[in-house]
C-alpha cells in the first residue's frame, strides 16, 4: 500500500506528522500567537515554558477525584424502610495508589459504618483499575451485631476521566472465615452534573447466616 493510500485512510496521521515539528521545543517559542490569547490560556502558558510529557501525565494523573456524598437509602428487605447515608470516597495519599474511604448508612437501630483503604495496583490514570481492600466495619441490625476487620477487592471502571463518570464493583467480608462472617457486595456509579457535583447511585447486598439484606441508595456527591 502506498503512503498516499495510508494517509487517505488514516488522515489523522498526516495531522500528527504535521503538528510534531511545529510543537517541537525549538519551534514552539517562534509561533506567532496573540499575547491576549496566551494570557487567557494556562495550557498555552505551560506549553510555551516546556512541552509536557502528555503520555506520562495521562497514565499517572488520577482518572477519578475525591468526593463527599450525602444521600437517601431504602431497604427493600425491611418493608421498604428509608434511611440516609453519608460518605467520603477516594481520598488519595499523594500518588501512592492508596485511597481512603469512610461511610455511614442507617435507619433507626439498623446501622453500618466503616473506614477502609484501597491500594490501586494499576496506573492511576487508566480506565480500569483493581485494588485489594482492607478496613474496619461495624454493623448493627435487628438480627445481629458485628464489628471487626473487613477485607476484599474492588474493580473500578472509569469511562469518563476527572470524575465525569465511573462504575465500581466491590466485594468484602467482615470477620472472614468465622461463624460470624458477613459478605458485603456493592455496585456504585456516578455521573457528573457540573464540574463539582455528581449524581450517584449504589446497590448493596449484605449476606450473613442470620439474614440476607439489601440497600439501594441515591445521592449527591461534591468533588473538591
Domains along the sequence of the chain with CATH: 3-52 (no CATH), 67-222 (2.40.160.40)
User: Does pLDDT of 1 surpass 90?
Assistant: no
User: Does pLDDT of 138 surpass 70?
Assistant: yes
Banded model confidence at residue 172, pLDDT cuts 50, 70, 90: very high
Cα–Cα distance measured from residue 200 to residue 187, given in angstroms and rounded to the nearest whole number: 11
Cα–Cα distance measured from residue 104 to residue 108, given in angstroms and rounded to the nearest whole number: 13
DSSP state for residue 110 in the 8-state scheme? E
The larger pLDDT score, comparing residue 33 to residue 129, is at 129
Cα–Cα distance measured from residue 151 to residue 86, given in angstroms and rounded to the nearest whole number: 21
Give alpha helix (H) positions in 114-210. Answer: none
- Whole-angstrom CA distances from 143 to 75, 82, 106, 146, 208 are 15, 18, 15, 10, 10
C-alpha cell at 116: 477502609
User: Does pLDDT of 77 surpass 90?
Assistant: no
Give the pLDDT of residue 18: 42
Tens of pLDDT, residues 14-35: 444 444 444 444 554 555 666 7
Q: Assign 127 to helix, strand or coil.
A: coil
- Rounded mean pLDDT, 54-80: 81
Amino acid at each position: 500500500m502506498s503512503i498516499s493510500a495510508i494517509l487517505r485512510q488514516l488522515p489523522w496521521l498526516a495531522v500528527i506528522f504535521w503538528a510534531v515539528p511545529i510543537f517541537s521545543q525549538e519551534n514552539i517559542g517562534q509561533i506567532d500567537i496573540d499575547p491576549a490569547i496566551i494570557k487567557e490560556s494556562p495550557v498555552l502558558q505551560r506549553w510555551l515554558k516546556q512541552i509536557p510529557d502528555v503520555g506520562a501525565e495521562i497514565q499517572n494523573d488520577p482518572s477519578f477525584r475525591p468526593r463527599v456524598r450525602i444521600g437517601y437509602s431504602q431497604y427493600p428487605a425491611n418493608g421498604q424502610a428509608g434511611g440516609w447515608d453519608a460518605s467520603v470516597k477516594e481520598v488519595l495519599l499523594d500518588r501512592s495508589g492508596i485511597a481512603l474511604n469512610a461511610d455511614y448508612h442507617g435507619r433507626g437501630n439498623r446501622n453500618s459504618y466503616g473506614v477502609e483503604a484501597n491500594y490501586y495496583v494499576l496506573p492511576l490514570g487508566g480506565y480500569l483499575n483493581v485494588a485489594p481492600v482492607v478496613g474496619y466495619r461495624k454493623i448493627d441490625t435487628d438480627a445481629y451485631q458485628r464489628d471487626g476487620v473487613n477485607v476484599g477487592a474492588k474493580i473500578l471502571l472509569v469511562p469518563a476521566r476527572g470524575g465525569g463518570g465511573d462504575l465500581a464493583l466491590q466485594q468484602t467480608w467482615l470477620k472472614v472465615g468465622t461463624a460470624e462472617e458477613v459478605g458485603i457486595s456493592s455496585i456504585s456509579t456516578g455521573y457528573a452534573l457540573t464540574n463539582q457535583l455528581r449524581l450517584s447511585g449504589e446497590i448493596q447486598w449484605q449476606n450473613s447466616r442470620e439474614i440476607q439484606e439489601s440497600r439501594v441508595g441515591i445521592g449527591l456527591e461534591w468533588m473538591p
